[in-house]
Structure 1
Amino acid sequence: MWKAGKERNNTKATFLLPNNTKTSAKPVGTRKTFGMTSAISWDDPTSDDIRKTNELNKLLESYGIFETPAESNHRDEILEKLNQLVKQWIRAVALSKNVLPSVANKLGGKVFEFGSYLLGVHHRGADIDALCVAPYCIERSDFFKSFFELLKGHPGVKKCLAIEEAFVPVIKMSFEGVEVDLLFSRLDLETIPDDIDLQNDKLLRYLDPKSLRSLNGRRVTEKILKLVPNVDTFRSALRAVKLWAKNRGIYSNSVGYFGGVTWAMLVARVCQLYPNAAPATIIQKFFLIFSMWKWPLPVLLTPVDDADLGHPVWDPRINLSDRSHLMPIITPSYPQQNSTFNVTESTRKVIVDEFERGKRTSLEIMQGKATWDQLLEPPRFFYKYRHFIMLLVNSSTAEDHLKWCGFVEAKVRLLVGNLDRNPQVSLAHVHPKCFDMYRHEGNSMTPFCSMWFIGLEIAAVGTSTVNLSDSIQGFVQQVQSQAEKMIKMGMKIEARYVKRKELNQYLDPEILKRERQSTEQQTVPLKRKSNEISTQLSKKSRTAGITCIN
């Protein structure tokens, strides 16, 4: 077996050449099966594989994603402070409910990290996903009232915001300079000991849906780490894949791409198929496998197993809604769910195209014909398309804007879905980033204004008129209807049609300049040709936020 330097959280590793680079001599009958199937190859890495891996790690280091030991220790200290704060709060709430002091002192409670931080692949400056686990006597309303107020009064906490109405309710904060997203789960237990095992399925009995969704963040992360044959290899490969996905604009669960846990499960599956491979090989096989994947065939790390506790699991044979999922990737912990239910027809096309590009580039890297930085270079989104839908949101205060942007971002995929169903649109490519409106002289705006952009490819349908009014109006009305209870004075949403040449009215010129320079330097043709349909937008429809391309 090859060896890797010891890793702790998000610290870099050096990969060394193993003594034996031939196929593992372990008898076939004694080899462990990881995941759903037997491994494809048990080959150990070659010297070239190790060299490619170390080249990749040097490139990742140049991106500044690795933490210093001091920064890592600071995160640990923050989590411990939060943990002690939770224990004290639980005791105080219990006493206020007339629980005996002797009982309140033993209630416990604990804060668990999960997501990228627990996986050890978070980048420098990233936020921490954390979970507060409380006993039955503590209610969700306590968490979002008394604990929220406790946090707001803490000297180390800034920008504290409670989003109780979210699908997964969360308190967002900056704790001593580190962003923290804190979830809450109330278990049907009298006490929460420090050594509680959250992998115990029996803990899910009688759990409410919000507590279940919150708890499964930790359960899924723990299970992934247990299902990979070599954690160091998995971490190194996943860091690169996450950076690639972010750079290529396909890292965002909310707008219909893949989120962090999904990328982790895909990399974990490849690690299961190549247990002894070096990270460089894992990445090349990652693109090879998923560029050829027969979607909607699901990706699974373990068989779907119903623990019979009353919670629905992903099963397209029974659940009609599961049959519509385009790229199902199933979480390994009960109750198993599809982590990619937000994927639309257009985001699927974009992801599949990126897998194909990654396959070509990674193969060239392993052959010595390309370098890792070519794999990670960002796309030229604003120069790839001639037509755009710009989704504009406005608010009067910073707190309102944070909530409003979060709400609208979760709905952007609905607009993409509407456009997908329009026969005159062949692709609606949403940029996952939310941009701030560029402020220049003569540009009058509300204090807070943000935008999303959707690049359009127009289908050749035998007519020069493309009308997107229904797609856009329906979306705006749906968002306004669903936001009726939370919307405040100054909160607005608008969709506009924008031509490429008009982007400089809204975006920072430096963004467009970087893309233009990159386009001029690159001679590789785009896979999708720009549609040559000439367009004209009436002033009336532009003002109304209705798109009509003539």
Structure 2
Amino acid sequence: LYCWGRAYGCYSQLPLASETDCLLTQKLMETLKPYGVLEEEEELQRRILILGKLNKLVKEWIREISESKNLPQSVIENVGGKIFTFGSYRLGVHTKGADIDALCVAPRHVDRSDFFTSFYDKLKSQEEVKVLRTVEEAFVPIDILFARLALQTIPEDLDLRDDSLLKNLDIRCIRSLNGCRVTDEILHLVPNIDNFRLSLRAIKLWAKQHNIYSNILGFLGGVSRAMLVARTCQLYPSAIAPTLVHKFFLVFSKWEWPNPVLLKQPEECNLNLPGCDPRVSVLFFPLQIHTVNNK
């Protein structure tokens, strides 16, 4: 056993991938293809192009807002603004035709109301935009979320995983940031991103084929499923995707529930934010199972 420094727990080392392992990986990819799990390069490039256009629109809009609020020219020239992605697209496991979950990050002088008015109008004026609807009080992620940071400008190399960015933020902005922060942290904590992605694609397909994909119905959601696969990758860092899929079922069929699945040691950020600590909440909020008597 050895420990991988960035993450939580110890890991059993497996031999490096052999020629047989490479063949198994290729076989897994061929198995997934008929289900539309793997996107064609042309469609992927189209997504990248659309995100580039959206990012450009955001920068233009924030510059216009800055000018309307009479900010100094030196600030306007470097005001920035950026589109971040999260969810299945950011994790690299989206399927053909899937939506892109995006987050618009703006500096402190851009109000939330601006996003739902002037940015809405700017999007509506674009020829490519066919359907547009605002949901200002939405709690769950929508296609484009908004977050205003307590920064004068938004740099291109902004790391949303920085906890200091959450200080004095509106709780709605914190919720909007959460999707990006979680997906980026998961990618940061897995030893091999390619193996993680292929394994997660396989597990997602398995869940869909067995009709246990909906978190609304009480099954694991996308983030929960990604965390379980990420933990499997941590436990077997040199394993190929087919092996990781096998180990996934082995590990969690023997997991001592309700012990939490941790990707790293919990940290105290001291920001007085609402949250859930799995180490203690299980004691105070036990799982309740309700059954229905159909007789």
TM over 0.5: yes
Residues 1:115 and 2:65 are matched in the alignment: no
Q: Which amino acid aligns with 2:37?
A: I
CA distance in 2, matches of 1:254, 1:46: 41
Q: Highest relative contact order (Cα 8 Å, sep 6+), 1 or 2? A: 2
C-alpha distance 318-121 of structure 1, shift in aligned 2 (>3 A)? closer
Residues 1:93 and 2:65 are matched in the alignment: yes
Q: Which amino acid aligns with 1:57?
A: M
Residues 1:164 and 2:152 are matched in the alignment: no
Residues 1:73 and 2:41 are matched in the alignment: no
8 Å CA contact 1:204–1:212 kept in 2: the answer is: yes
* Aligned counterpart, 1:324: 285
8 Å CA contact 1:34–1:229 kept in 2: the answer is: no
8 Å CA contact 2:147–2:177 kept in 1: the answer is: yes
How many residue pairs end up in the alignment? 295
Q: Give the deviation of 1:195 after TM superposition.
A: 1.4
As a proportion of its length, which structure holds more strand? 1
Q: Which amino acid aligns with 2:53?
A: K
* Aligned counterpart, 1:131: 103
CA distance in 1, matches of 2:194, 2:148: 33
Cα deviation code 1:369-416 (max 9, x no counterpart)? xxxxxxxxxxxxxxxxxxxxxxxxxxxxxxxxxxxxxxxxxxxxxxxx
Q: Give the deviation of 1:169 after TM superposition.
A: 6.1
Which secondary structure state, in structure 1, belongs to the residue aligned with residue 134 of structure 2? strand
Give ranges in structure 1 of 5+ residues lacking alignment. Answer: 1-27, 171-180, 327-343, 346-419, 425-457, 459-465, 467-550
Residues 1:298 and 2:260 are matched in the alignment: yes
CA distance in 1, matches of 2:191, 2:148: 33
* Aligned counterpart, 2:250: 288
C-alpha distance 307-218 of structure 1, shift in aligned 2 (>3 A)? same
Q: Which amino acid aligns with 2:64?
A: A
Q: Give the deviation of 1:253 after TM superposition.
A: 2.6
Cα deviation code 1:268-290 (max 9, x no counterpart)? 10011111111111111101111
Q: Give the deviation of 1:80 after TM superposition.
A: 0.8
Q: Give the deviation of 1:129 after TM superposition.
A: 1.0
* Aligned counterpart, 2:27: 55
As a proportion of its length, which structure holds more helix? 2
Which secondary structure state, in structure 1, belongs to the residue aligned with residue 11 of structure 2? coil
Q: Which amino acid aligns with 2:235?
A: L
Which secondary structure state, in structure 2, belongs to the residue aligned with residue 159 of structure 1? coil
C-alpha distance 317-235 of structure 1, shift in aligned 2 (>3 A)? closer
CA distance in 1, matches of 2:70, 2:204: 49
* Aligned counterpart, 1:229: 191
8 Å CA contact 1:135–1:189 kept in 2: the answer is: yes
Q: Give the deviation of 1:105 after TM superposition.
A: 2.9
Residue from 157, 160, 163 that aligns with 1:195: 157
Q: Give the deviation of 1:319 after TM superposition.
A: 5.3
CA distance in 2, matches of 1:219, 1:109: 17
TM-score, normalised to structure 1, is 0.51
CA distance in 1, matches of 2:90, 2:286: 28
Residue from 147, 165, 171 that aligns with 1:209: 171
Give ranges in structure 2 of 5+ residues lacking alignment. Answer: none
CA distance in 1, matches of 2:6, 2:20: 26
Which secondary structure state, in structure 2, belongs to the residue aligned with residue 195 of structure 1? coil
8 Å CA contact 2:75–2:153 kept in 1: the answer is: no
Residues 1:151 and 2:123 are matched in the alignment: yes
Which secondary structure state, in structure 2, belongs to the residue aligned with residue 161 of structure 1? coil
Cα deviation code 1:478-522 (max 9, x no counterpart)? xxxxxxxxxxxxxxxxxxxxxxxxxxxxxxxxxxxxxxxxxxxxx
Aligned counterparts, 1:417-496, within 5 A: 420=290, 422=292, 424=293, 458=294, 466=295
C-alpha distance 168-144 of structure 1, shift in aligned 2 (>3 A)? farther
Q: Give the deviation of 1:50 after TM superposition.
A: 4.2
CA distance in 2, matches of 1:58, 1:34: 33
8 Å CA contact 1:112–1:131 kept in 2: the answer is: yes
Q: Give the deviation of 1:56 after TM superposition.
A: 1.6
8 Å CA contact 2:260–2:279 kept in 1: the answer is: no
Which secondary structure state, in structure 1, belongs to the residue aligned with residue 60 of structure 2? helix
Residues 1:105 and 2:77 are matched in the alignment: yes
Cα deviation code 1:347-385 (max 9, x no counterpart)? xxxxxxxxxxxxxxxxxxxxxxxxxxxxxxxxxxxxxxx
8 Å CA contact 1:140–1:186 kept in 2: the answer is: yes
Which secondary structure state, in structure 1, belongs to the residue aligned with residue 10 of structure 2? coil
CA distance in 2, matches of 1:51, 1:195: 38
Q: Give the deviation of 1:212 after TM superposition.
A: 0.9
Q: Give the deviation of 1:313 after TM superposition.
A: 3.4
Which secondary structure state, in structure 2, belongs to the residue aligned with residue 122 of structure 1? coil
